[in-house]
Amino acid sequence: MRRLLAVVAAGLLLVIALAGCKGLSSALSAGPTAKATTHTTSKTKDSHAKKSSKATHAAKKVTHPATTATASGSGTLRVLVEPAAGVGAIDKLITGARSSVDLTMYELRDTTAEDDLAADAKRGVDVRVILDQNLEKSRNTATYDFLSAHRVHVTWADSGVTYHQKTLTVDGKTSVIMTLNMVSEDYAGTRDFAVIDTRAADVDAIVTTFNADFAHRSIAPPDGADLVWSPTNSQASILAVINGAKHTLSVENEEMDDPTITAALVAAARRGVDVKVIMTAESEWDSAFSQLTSAGVHVRLYADSDNVLYIHAKAVVADADRPDQDVFVGSENFSKASLRYNRELGLRTTNSAVISTISATLASDYAGATPYSGR
């Protein structure tokens, strides 16, 4: 009975989220892309086996909007909050493509998305897909084979480089910068964000980078309006958000394995910033958690269990609701591999609507988590 109720609840949430996305434009395309520095020992957890199979705590507790849209420059930014929003808006972009679809994905195991990509290719859309092979080839091979057999132009990312980026571009007009992998079994129980970006400077930079990556050409990815690429500028951008905070910092990440980031959070707390960190419990990060809590950082965790929310989002919000507010959100984990060697993509913005939605989500997650008490 519990599982039936959870499935019904998840279905209702998806219908609501889709209803809110009716005005979403469907356009995306790709262009010249990028190539990251090779590093054969790069490690990225992005754990597949730790996600909930239920509609979870997150969908029930979140009271802020599942999506928010706001104008910015020559385009808009729209935030999807997962799991409440569902992936219907992303599916709609794919099925609505007129000329092109470009997808760079660390892990792709979603039969709906795969079928939609194949259907696009069948009706003449130029569909191109880049899949990670450095760490995820075994899990991506079935998808690679299916897409290849259905007219999709699919290629493996360069070997020796972990392509942890999760980005979709349709018709050269709309890009989706995601913290989530497109793995259907993970959707219901995982905290993630997706930013739908129609600003020309960002989309053009993403297209340029994709074109180079797809052709296996080296490139220094363009910054666009506010893009954060790894390894190019990710650590510096995240540190800028943390170091610039004067009053509050809220952080979600899957990993806490970069001493420079940990030290910056410690320094922020010691200069009087109210620092809150929300993660899923993992003994591997206990040393960092101890450093953080000793400095006055408020660390709260969710159990690593299928019955509760899994924190997979990667976001830092500084001074929400203040004039100098700032946010980072993207695919980058707080690890040396993610920030210094992998191909990753996120964005940093002062957009108040984006910050409000992400900040409210982190506040809700913090309220539902348990204070770290050491081991």
CA distance 368 to 150: 44
Same domain, 243 and 184: no
Each residue of 280-337: pLDDT tens digit? 999 999 999 999 999 999 999 999 999 999 999 999 999 999 999 999 999 999 999 9
For residue 85, give the CATH number of its domain.
3.30.870.10
Contact 129, 105 (CB under 8 A): yes
334 and 253 share one domain: yes
Mean pLDDT of 178-204: 97
Which residues on adjacent β-strands are paired with residue 311?
A: 191
Does residue 4 form part of some domain? no
- Give pLDDT, residue 44: 53
Domain shared by 185 and 283, yes or no = no
Are residues 209 and 337 located together in one domain of the fold? Answer: no
1, part of any domain: no
The packing angle between helices 88-95 and 2-20, to 10°, is 50
pLDDT band at 374; cut points 50, 70, 90: confident
Query: Could you tell me if residue 365 is inside a domain?
Result: yes
Per-residue buried b or exposed e for 9-19, using 16+ beta carbons within 10 Å of the residue's own CB? bbeebbeebbe
H/E stretch holding 252 reads strand 248-252
Domains contained in the chain, number: 2
Collapsed DSSP state (helix, strand, coil) of residue 294: helix
DSSP bridge partners of 72: 75
pLDDT at 18 (0 to 100): 37
Residues 85-125: tens digit of each pLDDT: 999 999 999 999 999 999 999 999 999 999 999 999 999 99
Residues 252 and 135 in one domain: no
Give the per-residue pLDDT at 29: 35
Greatest alpha-carbon pair distance for the chain in Å reads 59
Q: Is the pLDDT of residue 251 over 60?
A: yes
* Boundary of a domain, candidates 181, 198, 222: 222
